[in-house]
Amino acid sequence: MFLNEKNIYRISAISLGFTSVITQIIVIREFLSVYNSNELVIGILFSNWMIMTGLGAYFGRFILQDKPITVVLLQILIGLLPLITVFSLSFFRNIIFTPGRMLNPFEIYYSSLILLTPFCLFSGFMFTRISYFFSALRGRNLISYIYSFEAIGSIAGGLLFNFLLLFIFSTFTSLKILFAINLILSILFLLGFNKTITAIATGIVGTIFLSFLFTINIDKYALSRLYPSQEIIDFKETPFGRITVTKVADQLNFYENGITLFSTGNVIENEENIHYAMVQRDNPENVLLISGGVSGVIKEILKYKIKSLDYVEINPWLIREGEKFTDNITKSPKVRIINRDARLFLKESEKKYDIVIIDLPAPSNLEINRYYTLEFFNLAKKRMTKNGVLSLSLTPAANYAGAESVEIHSVIFSTLKKVFKNVLIIPGDKDYFLSGDGHLSNKISKLIESQNIATEYVNKYYIDDEQIEIRGNLIRNRLDSKAKINEDFKPVASFLQWKYWLAHFNISGNIWLFILLIPVLIILLRMNLINIGLFTTGLTSLSTELILLISFQILYGYIYQMTGIIITAFMVGLAFGSFKFYKFIGTGIKTYYKVQFSTGIFLFLLVSAIFLMNYFSVSGFIIHPVFLLLIFISGTLTGTQFSLATKLLKGSIATISAVSYSSEIVGSAFGALMISAVLIPVFGIFNTSFLIGLLNIVIALLIFVRYRKKI
């Protein structure tokens, strides 16, 4: 019989990985739509997720009844809890907290911890339980076997969501389907355990409940709770996040991942975004607009007698929503819409532009920071004419803001000065940085009048050129002339944005990090060297994923689907390492030490490979397979080390399963919080890689000294 007890545990492990990875992707996306999407928030979410999963696995060893059928109950729970978690996030956000108010890190920490705990605890508990029962059934330690099956499920779940569910179904429809899959599996498991009557009853109740779920539009109701007093006109799940369109009176508001992109009818911002830069040249011919075109700025650009406007917007769904609800996407033959990553487009294009306008948010995360770096400005300059002008903006205005905002302005100003001879700051609703090698003027109203451009706000009736000059000089005088340069592989601006966000709540970054370090240090002090090695492995694996993903964006250009492929390649390596590879190299402490040491060396080789690819500007034909190979090796080393640890640790199957799984998970949690939010912004990608590699070598040497008589 196919559904014998052994196969039930195998399928249950696969479904655990399948459900966990899809739930994690959806839950993280939903949290980022409600909270601020910077690296610290992402780190908090991943950290809470992994810590609670690790605790679930750890405490699972104390609650092991001799009733394997309880796996069925867990199967139903991990299918249902994601629905409850995501709905609760939307439902309670504006009940517990003031609508529209930005949450501080502590509020994000404890609210996400509360919401994530039920699913994470049960999924961690389920891993320990499956490992215990399957090993007991086969009469030997098969924790690594279950670990590999969970990885296989994660591969399947990641591929299904990234390449199918995301494009076809809404968030709650995907979660309903996930629940239906787990419900069907639980019924099949009941039949496998010869619980026919219970299976029939579960099927009837489950069908009724599912029918009810599929008849109501949970997505729209949940969104209405997030946008009180606004009518939800439309929403669309895209690979880049959820686009939501709301209406208040006659105004339409466009949101992406909960962040306001623009509102229709905002004439002041549209005019400032465009005319400050455009009037700097008498007859601009070719214009490049990076993002922001849906807001209405294209119409402002077309007031000039240009030959062409190339509008680069990575998210094609945003263009479609704009065309659906506004007339801001003009059908002029002068306008060419390009749905690509702007950096990749600039690398491959040979066209020269008179004006380059970057209409993006401040560099609040590593993804956006790519458009504010020395390397990007150099790339843009290569695609500009001799007297071309580049424009970008920061907010809030530095002359009204605190020290953190001044730091950000200083870094961007210094970085621009490294590339362009002239940098001019024009204060408006935001601070506009105009850069170029030719002459730049802050006499905006005179330039507008001389070129006879029709505007409602940017003209002599509303702006004073003398005041613009005075305010611009005040801002410039506050800037630090010795500020650091923002680079691709050392994103200083992103870290400063994180500091600015914390300063908004009068929270010191040092105090916050110290508080977070305390529980990690307590956990480490209670571990033996084998578990510390696993902790380091978990930290390294997640760090390597982040380093490779960020580096891929820098070297090639951000393509969302490639993120899923890279993560899947890691899971393939994880499954291979935990299921097969360790069998070829032995299972003793000597092998464990060597793998730990090899992981450190691998980090050195990894950063060397990234450096060489960047230095020689290798083609995408080489970059893709190299990155996939590197992430596969990282997964293999992680899976191998986990399997070796399960063979070396002493105690019952339940204890080994719980302790090994939780040690690796807690290490990943620590890595999630520290790497992207602190180490990479402060030390840069290369130095961070060396630090993590050195950490692995130090741990390997400690293991060698501690167990040298056995090696």
10-residue averages of pLDDT along the chain (711 residues): 78 94 87 75 84 87 67 90 94 83 83 94 91 87 89 90 85 94 93 89 93 91 87 87 88 84 86 96 95 92 96 92 87 93 92 96 86 96 97 74 83 97 93 96 94 92 91 91 93 83 69 64 78 93 88 77 76 85 74 94 95 85 91 94 90 84 85 78 89 95 84 58
Question: In this structure, are 350 and 430 located in the same domain?
Answer: yes
- What tokens were used for 96? 């517990």
Where is the domain boundary, 260, 289, 320?
A: 260
Q: Which residues have a Cβ under 8 Å from the Cβ of 591 and sit 6 or more positions away?
A: 582, 585, 644
Dist. CA 91–CA 522, nearest whole Å = 35
- At residue 601's C-alpha, the angle toward residues 600 and 602, to 5°, is 90
Give the pLDDT of residue 398.
52
- For the chain, the domain total comes to 4
Question: In this structure, are 171 and 275 located in the same domain?
Answer: no
Q: What is the CATH number of the domain that holds 320?
A: 3.40.50.150
Please choose, from the candidates 245, 226, 225, 222, the residue with its C-alpha nearest in 3D space to the C-alpha of residue 235.
Answer: 245
Question: In this structure, are 681 and 594 located in the same domain?
Answer: yes
Question: In this structure, are 541 and 435 located in the same domain?
Answer: no
Dist. CA 88–CA 71, nearest whole Å = 25
Question: In this structure, are 309 and 401 located in the same domain?
Answer: yes
Q: What is the CATH number of the domain that holds 34?
A: 1.20.1250
Please choose, from the candidates 404, 382, 386, the residue with its C-alpha nearest in 3D space to the C-alpha of residue 395.
Answer: 404
Question: In this structure, are 380 and 451 located in the same domain?
Answer: yes
Q: Is residue 467 part of a domain?
A: yes
Please choose, from the candidates 455, 418, 456, 522, the residue with its C-alpha nearest in 3D space to the C-alpha of residue 303.
Answer: 455
Instruction: DSSP letter for 60, please.
Output: G
Q: Counting every residue, how long is the chain?
A: 711
CA distance to 589, 590, 645, per residue, from 708 (Å): 9, 9, 17
Q: What is the CATH number of the domain that holds 600?
A: 1.20.1250.20
Q: Pairing relation of β-strands 353-358 and 384-394?
A: parallel
Q: Is residue 497 part of a domain?
A: no
* Domain span at 436: 267-488
Dist. CA 117–CA 54, nearest whole Å = 11
Asked if 408 and 449 touch (Cβ cutoff 8 Å), the reply is: no
Q: pTM for the full model?
A: 0.87
Please choose, from the candidates 498, 550, 544, the residue with its C-alpha nearest in 3D space to the C-alpha of residue 641.
Answer: 544
Question: In this structure, are 248 and 127 located in the same domain?
Answer: no
Where is the domain boundary, 260, 280, 309?
A: 260
Question: In this structure, are 50 and 175 located in the same domain?
Answer: yes
Q: Is residue 359 part of a domain?
A: yes
Give the pLDDT of residue 93.
87
Q: Is 353 helix (H, G, I), strand (E, B) or coil?
A: strand
Question: In this structure, are 129 and 181 located in the same domain?
Answer: yes
Dist. CA 84–CA 504, nearest whole Å = 32
Asked if 329 and 364 touch (Cβ cutoff 8 Å), the reply is: no
CA distance to 16, 117, 123, 238, per residue, from 82 (Å): 13, 11, 11, 20
Give the pLDDT of residue 686.
93
Question: In this structure, are 234 and 103 located in the same domain?
Answer: no
Q: Is residue 502 part of a domain?
A: no
Asked if 532 and 699 touch (Cβ cutoff 8 Å), the reply is: yes
Question: In this structure, are 311 and 428 located in the same domain?
Answer: yes
Question: In this structure, are 108 and 151 located in the same domain?
Answer: yes
**DSSP class per residue in 431-444:** EEEEEESS-----H
